[in-house]
């Protein structure tokens, strides 16, 4: 069995009296996108900083690609790429020169560095701007160049700290496509984000941090299923059928809520298979269904539920 | 740097989706991964970057070269009467006495700008990227000070040419002048570590600037730079004789003017080495990845 690319065990990080991370334990495999969610100050960036060896944990252990982040920080840095919350480029050099510089520092020869920079400039649609300084770029272009810089060494683990903050919808979508492709190619991506839609689209696994603690973790489906809020809305041809259906819903324990204006009944669906059970029961009661809509809970619902629970682990 | 023409490679932003494979990481054996390089290469690449940055900005180059010339012009005129003092009169003119000290002054100014330049990089976040890369943080600092030493060399050559051409400075021998310039560069490089250490200790620009001036002005003025030490009030004379820069200035002056150097060069090099070691150690300690 392949060893996880990232292993975190009972990790604590304190800044004086402030506990930024508390007993964090997680594992992330190859080709996985781990979404790290949480409000501002929840510990997301601290977790990335520890894993990227930019800060040391107070207690516990973390390893990236099998290398301990404290004992073998230099080895860890050989295998990672990082795009922080703020674009980290040299504004005194052109975008192209920035990429060449980073490639050279990673060990590429001058020829290789130039070839790689050309490749990434093409890839990220920055050909027109390549010879300009990043300070003249738009926010989206700067973010793309920053991402390109993180990918120069073809890292096995990529840390993206709120990578789409401030991007327009097109640029954001392009970053999403890139992350998906990277994951398919085997890169492990740790993605912190405030954008729940982004997490829902990209993340295979999710952890939710609050005050440095993991308060929820699992796949998006598991988190949403844990909320138990999948609902079915069935529309009928007449009010008589609607009222009959209420009894059927109730008989299946689906907490029916009739809507006389729409001539429909709304009920909770505990498990995906229960939809078929409902349809069969309505059919057996000779109630003609005009429309059936199943509404899944979103990560937003999960997040709101966690917030309402006072960020207590579920 | 060679690069395909932008005109021939015009592409739309949506090209991203067509070329994503280039960004991919690992699976193809033909796609080379780089995992870092040696300390020497890191220093070489980062020094080259800083030098290109320093000389790539016309305004920075122009005013950087103009500043010492203006300083020399001002001091040579304002303090002209110092040339009649007993300890100076043997130098034929005040410019001969002043010029070597101005070289050291320029070295000090450049040393201070080493720290300011490093601070700018920390602010832009570029250093943050370097911290997550497999490179030595000491290489970043060393490259910074080396590139400033190269910039200082160019400044010194320009100011010497200006002083000879327009202000009547008359060095002893070309060899002696070259040795004086080399010593000045070494002094500037060594003292630069102190300012780099200050920046890595206190990262607030206003505080750094205040500390830097507190360090720089007493060192320059309580020394043999502008006046003979013997003509100073007793307590300043005491300070000046304990000031490492006095030895550096005396040695530079003696080398540049072809006079006997004595022990001042030994003291100067010893003190600069000690300063560089102390400053470098403190800077490296402060600048290492956060704990």
Average pLDDT taken over every residue of chain A: 90
Residue keyed to tokens 């080709």: A31
Contacts 24+ apart (CB under 8 A), A176-181: A176/A201, A176/A202, A177/B16, A177/B17, A177/B20, A178/A147, A178/B16, A178/B20, A178/B23, A179/A33, A180/A33, A181/B20, A181/B21, A181/B23, A181/B24
pLDDT value, residue A81: 94
**Which residue of B lies nearest to A118 if distances are taken between CA atoms?**
B3
pLDDT per residue over A267-297, tens digit each?
988 777 888 999 999 999 999 899 999 887 8
Say yes or no for a CB contact (<8 Å) between B1 and A114: yes
pLDDT value, residue B147: 93
Per-residue tokens: B161: 């040419």
pLDDT per residue over A18-72, tens digit each?
999 999 999 999 999 999 999 888 999 999 999 999 999 999 999 999 999 999 9
Q: Distance from A139 to chain B by nearest Cα, in Å?
A: 14
The reply to whether A133 touches chain B by the CB within 8 Å rule is no
Q: Where are the beta strands (DSSP E) in A117-244?
A: 157-161, 188-192, 205-210, 213-218, 231-236
Per-residue tokens: B44: 């070489």
pLDDT value, residue B27: 40
Question: Do A185 and A153 meet the contact criterion of CB atoms below 8 Å apart?
Answer: no
* Nearest alpha carbon to residue A39 among A168, A229, A213: A213
Taking a contact as any Cβ pair under 8 Å apart, which residues of chain A between 47 and 76 contact chain B?
Answer: 52-56, 73-75
Taking a contact as any Cβ pair under 8 Å apart, which residues of chain A between 13 and 42 contact chain B?
Answer: none
Question: Do B160 and B181 meet the contact criterion of CB atoms below 8 Å apart?
Answer: yes
> Which residues from A are below 8 Å from B50, CB to CB?
none
Per-residue tokens: B208: 């750094």
Average pLDDT rounded to a whole number, residues A125-145 = 91
pTM (predicted TM-score): 0.80
Alpha helix (H) ranges present in chain B?
39-56, 58-78, 94-124, 126-131, 137-166, 174-201, 205-221, 234-242, 244-257, 264-287
pLDDT value, residue A313: 63
pLDDT per residue over A194-238, tens digit each?
888 899 899 999 999 999 999 999 998 888 877 766 788 999 999
> Which residues from A are below 8 Å from B59, CB to CB?
none
Model ipTM?
0.79
pLDDT per residue over A163-206, tens digit each?
888 788 888 888 888 899 899 989 999 999 988 889 989 999 99
Say yes or no for a CB contact (<8 Å) between A122 and B11: yes
**Which residue of B lies nearest to A79 if distances are taken between CA atoms?**
B35
Picking from A92, A94, A153 by the largest number of B CB atoms within 10 A of its own CB, the best residue to mutate is A92
pLDDT value, residue A223: 85
Residue keyed to tokens 């093409």: A122
* Nearest alpha carbon to residue A82 among B120, B125, B15: B125
Question: Do A94 and A130 meet the contact criterion of CB atoms below 8 Å apart?
Answer: yes
Count of Cβ atoms closer than 10 Å to residue B66 Cβ: 13
Q: Distance from B141 to chain A by nearest Cα, in Å?
A: 15
Q: Where are the beta strands (DSSP E) in chain A?
A: 6-15, 18-28, 33-38, 59-64, 67-68, 80-83, 157-161, 188-192, 205-210, 213-218, 231-236, 257-259, 264-268, 289-295
Listed as ranges, residues in chain B with pLDDT below 70 are 1-31, 289-291
Q: Which residues contact A152 (CB under 8 A, 6 or more apart)?
A: A81, A99, A102, A103, A106, A108, A116, A117, A120, B34
pLDDT per residue over B24-49, tens digit each?
544 433 467 888 899 999 999 999 99
The alpha carbon of residue B49 and the mean position of all alpha carbons in its chain are separated, in whole angstroms, by 15
The reply to whether A128 touches chain B by the CB within 8 Å rule is yes
The reply to whether A135 touches chain B by the CB within 8 Å rule is no
pLDDT value, residue B22: 53
pLDDT value, residue A283: 93
d(CA A203, CA A210): 18
d(CA B182, CA B152): 10
> Which residues from A are below 8 Å from B35, CB to CB?
78-79, 106-107, 153
Residue keyed to tokens 């920075």: B60
**Which residue of B lies nearest to A113 if distances are taken between CA atoms?**
B34
Could you say which of A118, A120, A154 has the minimum Cβ distance to residue B33? A154
pLDDT per residue over B230-285, tens digit each?
888 889 888 888 888 899 999 999 999 989 888 889 999 999 999 999 999 999 99
């Amino acid at each position: 069995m392949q060893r996880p690319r990232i292993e975190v065990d009972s990790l604590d990080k304190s800044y004086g009296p402030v506990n930024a991370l508390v007993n964090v334990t997680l594992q992330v495999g190859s080709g996985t996108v781990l979404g790290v969610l949480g409000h501002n100050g929840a510990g997301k960036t601290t977790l990335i900083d520890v894993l990227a060896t930019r800060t040391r944990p107070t207690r516990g252990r973390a390893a990236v690609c099998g290398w301990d982040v404290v004992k073998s920080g230099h080895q860890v840095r050989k295998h990672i790429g990082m795009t922080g919350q703020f674009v980290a480029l040299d504004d005194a050099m052109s975008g192209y020169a920035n990429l060449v510089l980073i490639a050279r520092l990673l060990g590429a020869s001058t020829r290789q560095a130039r070839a790689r920079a050309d490749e990434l400039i093409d890839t990220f649609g920055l050909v027109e701007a390549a010879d300009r300084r990043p300070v003249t770029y738009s926010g989206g272009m700067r973010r793309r160049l920053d991402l390109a810089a993180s990918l120069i060494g073809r890292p096995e683990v990529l840390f993206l700290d709120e990578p789409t903050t401030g991007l327009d919808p097109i640029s954001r979508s392009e970053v999403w496509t890139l992350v998906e492709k990277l994951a398919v190619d085997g890169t492990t991506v740790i993605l912190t984000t405030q954008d729940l839609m982004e997490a829902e689209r990209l993340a295979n696994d999710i952890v939710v941090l609050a005050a440095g603690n993991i308060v929820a973790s699992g796949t998006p489906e598991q988190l949403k299923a844990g909320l138990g809020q999948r609902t079915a809305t069935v529309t009928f041809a007449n009010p008589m059928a609607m009222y009959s259906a209420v009894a059927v819903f109730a008989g299946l324990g689906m907490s029916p809520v009739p809507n006389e204006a729409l001539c429909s009944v709304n009920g909770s669906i505990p498990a995906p298979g229960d939809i078929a059970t409902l349809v069969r029961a309505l059919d057996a009661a000779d109630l003609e269904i005009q429309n059936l809509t199943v509404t899944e809970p979103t990560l937003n619902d999960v997040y709101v539920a966690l917030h309402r629970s006072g960020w207590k682990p579920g | 740097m060679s690069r395909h023409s932008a005109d021939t490679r015009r592409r739309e932003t949506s090209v991203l989706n067509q070329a994503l494979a280039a960004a991919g990481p690992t699976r193809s054996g033909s796609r080379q991964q780089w995992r870092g390089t040696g300390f020497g290469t890191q220093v070489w690449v980062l020094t080259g970057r800083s030098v290109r940055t320093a000389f790539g900005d016309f305004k920075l180059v122009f005013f950087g070269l103009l500043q010492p010339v203006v300083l020399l012009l001002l001091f040579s005129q304002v303090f002209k009467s110092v040339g009649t003092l007993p300890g100076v009169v043997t130098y034929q003119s005040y410019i001969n006495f002043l010029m070597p000290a101005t070289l050291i002054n320029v070295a000090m100014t450049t040393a201070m700008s080493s720290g300011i330049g490093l601070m700018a990089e920390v602010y832009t976040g570029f250093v943050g990227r370097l911290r997550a890369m497999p490179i030595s943080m000491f290489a970043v600092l060393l490259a910074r000070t080396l590139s400033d030493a190269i910039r200082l060399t160019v400044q010194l050559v320009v100011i010497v040419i200006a002083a000879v051409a327009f202000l009547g400075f008359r060095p002893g021998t070309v060899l002696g002048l070259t040795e004086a310039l080399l010593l000045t560069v070494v002094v500037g490089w060594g003292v630069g570590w102190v300012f780099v250490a200050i920046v890595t200790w206190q990262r607030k620009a206003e505080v750094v600037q205040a500390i830097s001036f507190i360090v720089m002005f007493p060192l320059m003025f309580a020394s043999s730079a502008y006046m003979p030490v013997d003509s100073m009030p007793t307590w300043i004379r005491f300070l000046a004789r304990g000031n490492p820069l006095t030895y550096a200035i005396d040695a530079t002056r003696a080398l540049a003017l072809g006079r006997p150097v004595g022990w001042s060069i030994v003291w100067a090099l010893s003190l600069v080495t000690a300063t560089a070691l102390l400053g470098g150690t403190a800077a490296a300690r402060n600048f290492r990845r956060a704990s």
